[in-house]
Structure 1
C-alpha cells in the first residue's frame, strides 16, 4: 500500500515539476518523506522509488533552469559560476567511475552531485516572493507529519521496522534506512516552523502554541534516534537562533527547562544520551583512545587514506574512478571521487557560501539569514562523520534554504540601491532627515525583504 502511494506521489510530483514547477516543488517536500520510507522496495532496475525520483527531479527542472525567464533562470542564481563548475567537474569524475565500475555507478554519483545544485536553485528561483515562500514552508511543515507521526507511534508502542543500535542503545528510526533520514525531516520541520513564526505575523496565539508543541514533538522524535550530530546541531541552532536575535531571556529559560527536564529524566533518558557520547567523554577525560570516538570512523578514514596514498598521481589529482559512498566523511568521499581538484572545488564552494552568509549577517541580522547560517553549520557538522552530499532530500532542504536566503538578500540590496540612487536629497536637509528619508525609501511591504501575508504570488 505504501509503495503504491509512493509511486503515485512520485508521478504526480514529477509531472507538476514539468508543468508547473512551483506546485511540483511543494508536492516534492510533502511527498518525499513518504517516498523515502520505501527505500527497500525496488521498482525498476533494482532501484526504489526514492532513488528514481532523486534522479528525475533535476532532469525535470533542467529545462526550466536553462530556458526560463530571468526571474527563474539559472542566470539569476547566486554563486551560479561555482555551482556550474562543481557539477561540470562532477560529470568528469563520474565518467571515470562509469568507465571503472559501470554506467549505473557513474550516473548514481553524478546525480547525487547534481541534486546539490538543484536544491540550491529550486527555492531561490520559485519562492523568493513572500506568498510563495509561506506556501513552501508550510509544505515542509506538512511533510514532517508522516515521519514525526511514525516516530511518535514507535515511541508509544515500541514497534520496530528497522533495528539499528548505537553504543548498545536501540535507535528509533521509523521506516527509514538510517538515523540521518528521520533526523533530516525533524530538523527540516523545526526550521520551517521557526521561519513561519518569524517571517509571517498576525497569527493567533493558538497557532504559536501549536508551533511550539510541533517543534517539541519533532525534537523528541529526533532525540530518540540518538544521533550525535543531531544533538550537536540542535545545540548550535538554539544558540544561534536566540543569540543572534538577542533573546537572552529565552536562552535563560531554555537552560532552566533543560536542567529541569534533565533532572527529571536523569535516571533513563539523560543516561541514554550520555551513553552514546561515552567514548568522546572518556577521550576528553584522558581515559579513552581518540580512534574509538565518532563510532570508530577513524579506522575507516585511516584505511581510506592509506588506499588513497597508494594511488598514482593522476588518480590522486583527478579522481580514483571508485565509488566511495561509505567514506563517512564528505571530504574523503570527494577526495576519492574527484581527487585533489574535486576536493579543492568543493571546499571553495563551501567557503564561498559561508563567506556570503556571514557577510549578509554582518550587514543585517534577519531570520532567513540566521536560518541559512543554521543550515550551513548543520551541513558542516554532517560532513565530518557522514556524506550529506549523497542524500538528495537533505540537499534540497539545506541548499534550498541557503540559496533562498542569498537570493532574497541580493534582491533586497538591488532594490534599495536603485531607490537610493533615484532619491534626490536637498542641500538643506538635516542628517536626521536623511536617515529618515532612507528608511522611508526601503522596500515597502509586499516587496522583497519585508514579508506580508498579503503579498501577491
Structure 2
C-alpha cells in the first residue's frame, strides 16, 4: 500500500500539482505506515521526502515566480535557505554525505511548506476542499489508534513511563501526534469558517474532535499534552471564549471523577520525572527524557567552536530535539537570527 501510495503521489504532483497536493495529504498516512518498505537502499518515506520538494519547488519558481516574489516572507525565506548552504557545505566537507543529504531535503521541505499552500490554495472553495481533505486524511491514523484502544492489539510496542502508547501502525508517537494535530487543526478551521447555521456538521466535527483528544491522550506524550493545553489557552483567550476557558477545566474534573481519578493520575504519571525534579526527589537530568542534558551538551559544543563557526555554523549534523538549537549549531548566530525573523514574519 505504501509503495502504491508513493507512486500515486509522485504522478499526481507531476501532472496536476493542486490535486496532487490534496492526494498527497490523503495518502501520506499510508506512506508513513510503510516505513519498513524499501526500494533498493531507500525507504519509501525517504523517497517521498526527496520527491516532493524536487517536484514542487521548480514548478513554484518557474510558473509561480511572480506570485512567489510578492509573498511577504519570500525574501527572508530565500535568504534563510541560502544561509543553510553554508552549514551544509561544512557537513559535506566533513565527509558525512548521507547526513548532509538528509538535512538538505529537510530544509527544502520546510522551505516549501511556507509557500505551497498560499500559492495553490488561493480561494475559499479550495480552502474548504483542503480542510475536507485533511479531515479525510485523519481517518486512517485515528482509526488505527481507536482499534488499538479497543482491542489492545499493538502493531509496534512503544512504551513511555510504563504505559503502552497507541501509535497505531506507525514507527513512534511522533507520526501519530502530527496526524492528530493536523486533523484537529482542520476541525477547528472548518468549524470556524463553514459551519454557521449547520448544527449537524458541528455535531460530527465535535465527535471527530473527541476522537482526536482520546487518541492524543493515549499517546502518553508530554509534548502532545502540552500542545493541547497551549491550544486550549490560545483559543479561549485570543478568541475571548471565556466561558469555555472556565468550562473545560470543570469538564476535565468531571471526566476524571467518572474514570475513578484515573485521568489525572495517568497524566501525572507521564510527568512524574518533571514533578519529582520540582519536588527535589528526582535528578533534574532526567527531566524531558534527558533532553535538557542533550541540549546543554550541544550548546557547550557550540560555545567551544571557533568564532567563524559560531557565526555561520559548524559541520555538526545531529538531532538535538530542539529546532532552534539545531539551527544555531548548523547555521550559527546568523542563521538563527534569520530563522527567527522568518518565523516572526508569519505574524505580520
Shift of 1:238: 1.7
SS at 1:128's partner residue? coil
Superposed, which structure 2 residues align to 1:61-140 within 5 Å? 61-69=56-64, 73-140=67-134
**Would the alpha carbon gap of residues 245 and 348 (structure 1) be closer, same or farther in structure 2, given more than 3 Å must change?**
closer
> Which of 154, 158, 172 is equivalent to 1:160?
154
SS at 2:156's partner residue? coil
Q: Which stretch of the first structure deviates more once superposed, 270-279 or 282-291?
A: 282-291
Question: Aligned residue pairs: how many?
Answer: 348
> Which of 294, 297, 300 is equivalent to 2:294?
300
Contact 1:77 / 1:125 at 8 angstroms: preserved in 2?
no
CA distance in 1, matches of 2:104, 2:84: 6
Q: Give TM-score scaled by structure 1 length.
A: 0.72
Tell me the residue number matched to 2:14: 18
CA distance in 1, matches of 2:233, 2:309: 42
Contact 1:93 / 1:319 at 8 angstroms: preserved in 2?
yes
Contact 1:101 / 1:321 at 8 angstroms: preserved in 2?
no
1:245 and 2:239 correspond: yes
CA distance in 2, matches of 1:40, 1:177: 9
Q: Which has the higher contact order (CA 8 A, sep 6+)?
A: 1
Q: Give TM-score scaled by structure 2 length.
A: 0.93
CA deviation string 1:145-202 (max 9, x = no partner)? 1110000011111112222222222222122222121111101101101111111145
RMSD: 2.0
CA distance in 2, matches of 1:91, 1:269: 47
> Which of 12, 26, 42 is equivalent to 1:30?
26
CA deviation string 1:260-294 (max 9, x = no partner)? 00222244333221101112223334444432211
Structure whose alpha-carbon radius of gyration is higher: 1
CA deviation string 1:224-267 (max 9, x = no partner)? 11111111111121222233222223333322211100222244
> Which of 7, 23, 42 is equivalent to 2:3?
7
Q: Which stretch of the first structure deviates more once superposed, 17-26 or 73-82?
A: 73-82
CA distance in 2, matches of 1:320, 1:161: 39
In structure 1, the gaps of 5 or more residues are 357-457
CA distance in 1, matches of 2:293, 2:214: 32
Shift of 1:206: 2.2
Shift of 1:66: 1.2
Tell me the residue number matched to 2:327: 334
CA deviation string 1:21-40 (max 9, x = no partner)? 11011011111111111122
**Would the alpha carbon gap of residues 202 and 246 (structure 1) be closer, same or farther in structure 2, given more than 3 Å must change?**
closer
Tell me the residue number matched to 1:324: 318
Contact 2:87 / 2:331 at 8 angstroms: preserved in 1?
yes
In structure 2, the gaps of 5 or more residues are none
Tell me the residue number matched to 1:406: none
Tell me the residue number matched to 2:336: 343
